[in-house]
Amino acid sequence: MNVRAALAEAAREVARRGLVTGTAGNVSLRNGNELLVTPTGRDLATVTESDIVTLDAEGRVLGGGKPTSEWQLHRAILAARPDLAAVVHTHSPHATAASALKRNIPAVHYMVVAAGGADIPCAPYATPGGEVLAAHAAAALAGRDACLLAHHGALAAGPTLAAAIALAVVVEDLARTWLTLLAVTPDPPSLGADDIAAMRTAWAAYRGSA
């Protein structure tokens, strides 16, 4: 499968998993010095290989139609993180609801380490589609592979499309768990630093053997 077809399939997979609804959300993939992104105004469930848009490093369209309005978000993240190759931006229901609290998702479950640390940070709100939001997102992903976007949704990134999608699913699940706990207590207990350190070691070993 070529990279354009792979990105289109990833977009459809994001929709199949219920992480986006209709035209909300977008997906990108680094391809050498170029950036492949999903198109604007298109239901991700229906994206095909011919819909994928190719951008250069400055965001100029090299092929395809009109890119997602959030292309700057994807470009900023991948420019700041050469270790990553794919970004998934979702409006999944629980992560989006959690983002309105403008708080980091704490370590209420050990799977928080899948994003690279002891929490899922929440980037400040900024108007969607602009450079300010892109900068906020890139900053939030320094040392993390996932974050919330306040009053907006969530981001998950990875070295592959599959890894980014899998992490987006984890973030949605963590958000659901956290919101459920907040309905019981305003201050849910979290794992301590030693527990997180041990889990990060275990997670690295697990990923290495997977």
Residues with a known catalytic role:
70
Q: Cα 35 to chain center, whole Å? A: 16
User: Which residues, at least 6 apart from 173, have a Cβ–Cβ distance to it below 8 Å?
Assistant: 94, 111
The one-letter code for the residue type at 85 is: A
The one-letter code for the residue type at 9 is: E
Identify which of 165, 131, 124 has the alpha carbon closest to the alpha carbon of residue 145. Answer: 165
Q: 173 phi and psi, to 5 degrees? A: -65, -40
d(CA 24, CA 44) in angstroms, rounded, equals: 8
Token output for 202: 């275990």
